[in-house]
Amino acid sequence: MSTSDLQYPTAEAQVSWRERLAGKTFTVAVQRAAIYTILILASVAFLFPLAWMVSTSLKVKSQVMAMPPVLIPNPIRWANFPDALNAPNFPFPLLLKNTLTYCVLATLGVVISCPIAAYSFARLRWPGRDLVFMATLATMMVPGTVTLIPTFIIFRYLGWTGSYLPLIVPAFFGGAFYIFLLRQFFMSIPMELSEAAIMDGASHLTIMLRIVMPLAKPALAAVALFEFLADWNDFIQPLIYVTSEKMFTLSLGLYAFRDRWETRYDLMMAAGLVVTLPILVLFFFTQRTFIEGIALTGIKG
């Protein structure tokens, strides 16, 4: 593990000081080279599928299935993108609008509801709190499969199927994972801050909004990003609740696209890239928040 080793202050070590240091440096160099080699090879393996997606999306039809495979398209056919976006069953602007409606509203819901519930679990005392929190943790372990059907029946009873309500409304009532994550974060903020504020006559609501929330901005940002990503990529919920094609999300649209253009991998890859690109761009600008947010989830699991 440790790569910055120096000699140990034993008599034996001091005798062969020079040789040992030289030997160590050499070992370290070899180790480093090995680590880089593995990391680079692994990176190639991880990025290659995406690179192949890009490459296929830019090929002329005859080159898509050429043998041996052509890595760099020649000529580059940019027109695949407008072709995919203008395909009759892939109304991109509409799909994008629908997806954004779902993502933005559900993310908004989660960002409003979860910190409030998390604050209650982390900083307020009320009878039954720990029991409810245990139940909250337990729901994270409950497989979604078992709640799928009764949930569908509830929303059908309410007349909400065929609309976005089943996808959006629950978000305004919180989510177990985010509440857990935010609670862990709130607990790490010193209680003394709240106590001092109470002494000064501040109410709990003031403390929550003025002291705790501002400190929790990174955790809130992580929650917003996770939810946005989950909604953008969500497939099973739109599949169950959205019935009319006019309300399809990008995921559903892409699925339908695949169904229709079975063998046109050039167009399929172009459409797939268009659906993926926005989320990649989002990740590019927010990766710190993303990665630190995930790190937060695993530590106290």
- Tell me if 300 sits within 8 A of 184, measured CB to CB: yes
CB nearer other proteins, residue 72 or residue 299: 299
CB nearer other proteins, residue 39 or residue 79: 39
Q: How far is the CB of 167 from other proteins (least distance, A)?
A: 13
- Tell me if 264 sits within 8 A of 246, measured CB to CB: no
Q: How far is the CB of 29 from other proteins (least distance, A)?
A: 12
Give dist(CA 185, CA 118) in Å, integer. 9
Give dist(CA 282, CA 221) in Å, integer. 12
Give dist(CA 169, CA 187) in Å, integer. 28
Q: How far is the CB of 261 from other proteins (least distance, A)?
A: 10
Q: How far is the CB of 86 from other proteins (least distance, A)?
A: 19
CB nearer other proteins, residue 48 or residue 78: 48
First CA to last CA distance, the chain? 25
CB nearer other proteins, residue 217 or residue 288: 288
CA 163 to chain centre: 25
- Tell me if 53 sits within 8 A of 30, measured CB to CB: no
Q: How far is the CB of 130 from other proteins (least distance, A)?
A: 12
CB nearer other proteins, residue 106 or residue 114: 114
Alpha helix stretches (DSSP H) within the chain: 11-15, 17-57, 61-64, 80-85, 92-123, 129-141, 144-157, 165-168, 176-187, 191-199, 204-206, 213-215, 217-233, 236-241, 250-260, 265-299
CB nearer other proteins, residue 47 or residue 76: 47
Burial class for 231, CB neighbours closer than 10 Å (0-12, 13-18, 19+):
buried
Which pair of structure tokens corresponds to residue 128?
């039954």
Burial class for 249, CB neighbours closer than 10 Å (0-12, 13-18, 19+):
buried
CB nearer other proteins, residue 78 or residue 173: 173
Which residue has tokens 């120096």? 6
Q: How far is the CB of 77 from other proteins (least distance, A)?
A: 17
Q: How far is the CB of 89 from other proteins (least distance, A)?
A: 14
CB nearer other proteins, residue 15 or residue 236: 236
Q: How far is the CB of 222 from other proteins (least distance, A)?
A: 12
Rounded (5°) CA angle 96-168-152: 110
